[in-house]
Amino acid sequence: MRDGSKFWCGDELLPLRLAPQRVGMYLDDEEGEISFYNADTRAHIHTLTDTFTETLSILLYPSHRRR
């Protein structure tokens, strides 16, 4: 989330109206996809596609800062 109300993945603005309270991830290694979804409503948020040639490690970096 940037600017308090906009959601981004890299440079791509995501069309979300509400901030999800819990986010789920689904990895499809064979298809080369990692999908993110709202864990409460199961609504799709975004899917990243790539070719995975090595073991994946998860690194989460939530950039939202509490004030």
Q: Is residue 3 part of a domain?
A: no
pTM: 0.73
Q: Is residue 67 part of a domain?
A: no
Q: Is residue 58 part of a domain?
A: no
Q: Is residue 25 part of a domain?
A: yes
Let me know: does 50 contact 32? Beta carbons within 8 Å: yes
Q: Encoding tokens for residue 12?
A: 């791509």
Q: Is residue 9 part of a domain?
A: no
Residue pLDDT, tens place only, 11-56: 888 888 888 889 899 999 889 999 999 999 999 999 999 998 888 8
Q: What is the domain count for the chain?
A: 1
Domain, as residue range, for 22: 18-53
